[in-house]
């Protein structure tokens, strides 16, 4: 999904989603004269792999890493990561910082230098803080007495389907969002047509909370990840990632610019596509 001219926006989806979730935004950015690439991470969207064939977070991120590495010298890349996709673009920023003109974290997990990337996921339900490693343990074991289960409300995952994947690294937990969870926590202000689309297209997703890279506190450095201009887009009506949690991540990375989108739910590309496009065009112009 590419156009030509202007800056080159590379769009990265969140957990269980795919490149399809950018279908409203892509033509808007192209109409403004920019190149756009919407990617499927491994085992997501129409990517041919199954999630049990993706052993690591780096393998999951490979489509993005390859796309950034292949960009011609001098091309202005603006990476946009939504939700879990914030971790994918953080890895690309660390690996290839000179390729990236700016990074946009759209209601996303935005890690910081000096902490492991999973720390942002551990704050998803703040103030009821929990660990994604505990989630994975709970999903695999089904133990309702686990620490995770005691710290979260009984309906946290609602009608989502949990599963255990047999991977080359051993059993790993995965989750498929259910239609009730999508409607209540992710697509609450989005058109019903987009919610319906999501119920048809979401695939099993992993948080990779047990991945060695995600747990590495030395992975992200000031010299690389810290050198890239960062903008956090706050979705003001998100009930999955609270405004407080989004601003907490901004505070962890001093110098990050914060921009608000009023009325946006977790899926801002569906609930407020025009407003999101305007924000991205402003970011591209500001960081020329």
- What's the pLDDT score for residue 148? 33
**222 found inside a domain:** yes
Structure tokens at 54: 């993706």
Among 230, 234, 224, which Cα is nearest to 101's? Answer: 230
- What's the pLDDT score for residue 169? 85
- What's the pLDDT score for residue 261? 98
Give the domain extent around 103. 6-123+150-285
Question: Are 233 and 105 in contact, with CB atoms under 8 Å apart?
Answer: yes
> Domain holding 47: CATH number?
3.40.50.1820
Is there a catalytic annotation at residue 238?
yes
Question: Are 111 and 119 in contact, with CB atoms under 8 Å apart?
Answer: yes
Choosing from 8, 17, 47, 266, which is the catalytic residue? Answer: 266
Choosing from 7, 40, 107, 238, which is the catalytic residue? Answer: 238
- What's the pLDDT score for residue 127? 38
Q: Is the dihedral of CA 45, 47, 53, 59 positive or negative?
A: negative
Question: Are 209 and 131 in contact, with CB atoms under 8 Å apart?
Answer: yes
- What's the pLDDT score for residue 288? 62
Which single residue is written with the structure tokens 């596509």?
273
Count of structural domains, the chain: 1
**1 found inside a domain:** no
Which regions of the chain does DSSP assign to beta strands (E)? 8-12, 35-39, 77-82, 100-106, 161-167, 170-176, 230-235, 257-261
**212 found inside a domain:** yes
**91 found inside a domain:** yes
What are the residues whose beta carbons fall under 8 Å from the beta carbon of 53, sequence distance 6 or more?
A: 43, 167
> What is the torsion angle, in degrees rounded to the nearest 10, for the CA atoms of residue 231, residue 98, residue 1 and residue 42?
-90
Is there a catalytic annotation at residue 83?
yes
Choosing from 83, 149, 160, 271, which is the catalytic residue? Answer: 83
For residue 278, count other CB atoms closer than 10 A to its CB: 14
- What's the pLDDT score for residue 141? 44
**145 found inside a domain:** no
Q: Give CA–CA dist 172/23, Å, rounded.
A: 31
**228 found inside a domain:** yes
**35 found inside a domain:** yes
What are the C-alpha distances in Å from 27 to residues 2, 33, 86, 166, 175? 10, 10, 22, 39, 31
**132 found inside a domain:** no
- What's the pLDDT score for residue 119? 83
CA 277-279-282 angle, 5° bins? 110
- For each successive 10 residues of the chain (288 residues), what is the average pLDDT? 70 98 98 97 98 96 98 94 98 97 97 90 48 46 38 66 90 94 97 98 94 95 97 96 93 96 98 98 85
């Amino acid at each position: 999904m590419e156009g030509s001219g202007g800056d080159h926006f590379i769009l990265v989806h969140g957990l269980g989603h795919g490149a399809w979730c950018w279908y409203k935004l892509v033509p808007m950015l192209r109409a403004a004269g920019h190149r756009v690439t919407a990617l499927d991470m491994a085992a997501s969207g129409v990517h041919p792999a199954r999630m049990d064939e993706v052993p690591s977070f780096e393998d999951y991120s490979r489509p993005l890493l390859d796309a950034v590495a292949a960009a011609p010298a001098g091309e202005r890349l603006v990476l946009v990561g939504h939700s879990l996709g914030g971790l994918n673009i953080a890895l690309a920023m660390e690996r290839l910082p000179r390729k990236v003109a700016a990074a946009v974290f759209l209601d996303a997990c935005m890690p910081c230098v000096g902490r492991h990337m999973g720390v942002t996921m551990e704050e998803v339900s703040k103030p009821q803080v929990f660990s994604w490693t505990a989630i994975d343990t709970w999903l695999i074991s089904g133990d309702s007495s686990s620490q995770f289960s005691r710290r979260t409300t009984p309906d946290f995952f609602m009608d989502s389907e949990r599963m255990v994947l047999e991977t080359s690294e051993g059993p790993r937990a995965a989750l498929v969002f259910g239609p009730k969870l999508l409607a209540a926590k992710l697509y609450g202000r989005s058109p019903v047509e987009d919610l319906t689309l999501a119920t048809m297209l979401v695939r099993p997703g992993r948080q990779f909370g047990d991945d060695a890279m995600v747990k590495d506190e030395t992975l992200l450095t000031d010299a690389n990840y810290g050198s890239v201009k960062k903008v956090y887009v706050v979705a003001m009506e998100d009930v999955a990632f609270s405004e407080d949690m989004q601003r907490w991540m901004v505070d962890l990375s001093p110098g990050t610019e914060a921009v608000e989108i009023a009325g946006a739910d977790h899926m801002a590309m569906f609930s407020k596509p025009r407003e999101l496009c305007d924000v991205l065009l402003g970011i591209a112009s500001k960081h020329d």
